[in-house]
Amino acid sequence: MKFIYSDSHKLHFPQAEYHRGEMVTPFEKPERIEQITARLDEVGFTGIQCDELWDSEPVLKVHSADYLQFLKTAWQEWLAAGFNGDLMAGNFPVRRMQQRCPKHIDGKAGFYSSGNDTSINAGTWEAAQASCMATQRAQKVVANGDAACLALCRPPGHHAGKDLFGGYCFLNNAAVAAQMFLDQGAKKVAIIDIDFHHGNGTQDIFYERGDVLFASLHGQPEDSYPYYSGYADETGKGDGAGCNFNFPMPPGTRYETWAQALEDAIFHIQKFRAAALIVSLGVDTYKEDPISFFGLETEDYLQCGKHLSQLNLPTVFVLEGGYALDMVGQNVANVLLGFEGC
């Protein structure tokens, strides 16, 4: 299997995030990609450096134009306002407040953000574009005949909504890949999100659309980020009614329980008759992940890959989370090895 990456991901490296009452070094850091790339090389996968220009057309079908303009200019506006340090939202348009975008960058940051866990620095926009480029290249590899391909996306994307960034995410790479398959003629596409955290951004984008099925396996929102979405009764709306499936699970969930949810999601995807599959590949379900509470073992990811291969669909893997640096490379590699039947 090929994997696509870009060294431009290193341009995005905020220096702090707010976590449990204190400022800490972000868990989502450049070393994640270095660890994964090294392990994928060791097991024999083929890495392709991606430096081509991105195609904005499918991106504009899943994100609003005003939001993309905000991401493009936010850092320059932040500096022009005389602020020091990384851009981090501090004010939000909560219940019963006006939903109007302010002129000032401090207000804009909160208007387009879902929380203060995610910062923007000088290289964020370029890194986010490069992450999306890697996804677009991986989709083209699969569309041209490969059974599967991995986009090593950093920053990740599944928490990015139509017009919101958060959860380390700015552009929704999985959504872009799905839209590309549709633009190329596919009638239906499925996205399965196996990251520990609910893919609230992906759900937001496709919740009222019937051409994309979204299924997410994640920590129950009563106890885990993003807290305000991911309940089982969120099943879609309008044209998307019955196309959204959430599988929230409690603290301490181990593979046996998690795998049953995976099988249920696979059943719904088979019934949907999708022409292609996008896997939001997060391995923060691992037992030692520092910001999660499931109990999956490294060997379980081999079985996960085998389960996904049952769908027998052209498949684009899109990297999301996974923050146990010592094992993130092996856990990602095991999903791909299992998928290939190794």
Model confidence at 273, in pLDDT bands (50, 70, 90)?
very high
Residue 265 · residue 190 · CB < 8 Å: no
Which residues make beta-bridge pairs with 218? Answer: 248
Whether 104 is catalytic is no
Q: Which of 12, 63, 159, 218 is catalytic?
A: 159
Separation between Cα atoms, residue 220 and residue 277, nearest integer Å: 24
pLDDT at residue 342 is higher than 80: no
Angle between helices 325-339 and 300-309 (to 10 degrees): 30
Q: Tell me, what's the pLDDT at 47?
A: 97
Query: What is the residue-averaged pLDDT of the chain?
Result: 97
pLDDT at 208 over 80: yes
pLDDT for 15 beyond 90: no
With the C-alpha atoms ordered 52, 56, 61, 64, is the resulting torsion angle positive or negative? positive
Alpha carbon of 114 to those of 9, 91, 119, 187, 314: distances in Å?
A: 22, 10, 11, 31, 32
pLDDT at 150: 98
Contact 281, 195 (CB under 8 A): yes
Share of the chain above pLDDT 70, in %: 100
Residue 273 C-alpha from the chain's centroid: 23
pLDDT attached to residue 5: 97
| pLDDT, tens digit (0-9, with 9 covering 90-100), for 240-268 | 999 999 999 999 999 999 999 999 999 99
SS3 248: strand
**What are the pLDDT digits (tens) for 49-106?**
997 788 999 999 999 999 999 999 999 999 999 998 999 999 999 999 999 999 999 9
Q: What are 109-147's pLDDT values in tens digits?
A: 999 999 989 999 999 999 999 999 999 999 999 999 999
pLDDT of residue 274: 98
Q: Cα–Cα distance between 106 and 104 in angstroms, integer?
A: 5
